[in-house]
Amino acid sequence: MARPTTRTAIVTGGSGGIGRAVAERLAADGYAVVVHYSGNERRAAETVEAITGEGGTAVATRADVADENQVVALFDSTERRFGGVDAVVHTAGIMELAPLAETEFDMLDRMLRTNVRGTLAVAREAARRVRGGGAIVTFSSTVVRLALPTYAGYAATKGAVEAMTLILARELRGRDITVNAVAPGPTATPLFLDGKDEATVSRLAAQSPLERLGTPVDIAGAVSFLTGPDGRWINGQVLAPNGGAA
């Protein structure tokens, strides 16, 4: 077991584009990082190798974030290995797009299960386990405010994430634990770019006055702020790293 002074972070979805950047940034900030993944073991292993190759500490752990028993096991294994949990960053999520009139309920149910039930399951365990001085960060999306066509179902799930996050911040009164949501704007990740043609990508990039898409590193910087010493007075907020797109 690591020394009790080791700060430990769980990053769900840590094998993905934003999740991997977050995991690598928190490791560089001094955290031992648990890289959670749901299916892609190879990419999770690559994230761990990238962190350990730079002298950091990381392990990969598999779990279904919407299965409360598997989430409990994820936190149990983290506490056994590192002695406690100091930060939980929940980047795991799925996005499926369709006009509202064409939305299939199977598609909506999948997003509700992962994005809403999964956030609640992870946040519930984080609220029970994170040590004083720690941080909980969930992930929403700027599309909640942009109101883009085809995003109705996805934006609805992320609106629910924001509501849960702000309520949890108030429920943890007196615990010295910050709870915030990060709501990225259009970000160049496989999840975002999948199925979009070049014209669509260019149009979305132009929404920001900076006239580019965000990068996973941009988003990881926001998470680093919220989980670091300079972010201790930021609580119960939705931080939107989107280049001014909304």
pLDDT given at position 189: 83
pLDDT given at position 195: 74
- pLDDT averaged over 10-residue windows placed end to end, the chain, 246 residues: 71 95 98 96 97 98 98 98 98 96 98 98 98 98 93 98 98 98 90 79 86 94 98 98 90
Three-class DSSP category at 103? coil
End-to-end Cα, the chain, rounded Å: 45
Burial of 106 (0-12, 13-18, 19+ CB in 10 A): exposed
Q: What homologous superfamily does CATH list for 8-185+224-239?
A: NAD(P)-binding Rossmann-like Domain (3.40.50.720)
Is there a contact between 89 and 63 (Cβ–Cβ < 8 Å)?
no
Closest CA relative to residue 17, chosen from 161, 211, 217, 222:
217
pLDDT given at position 5: 59
Q: Where are the domains of the chain?
A: 8-185+224-239
pLDDT given at position 2: 44
For the question of residue 154 being annotated catalytic, the response is yes
pLDDT given at position 164: 98
Q: Which tokens is 244 given?
A: 């001014």
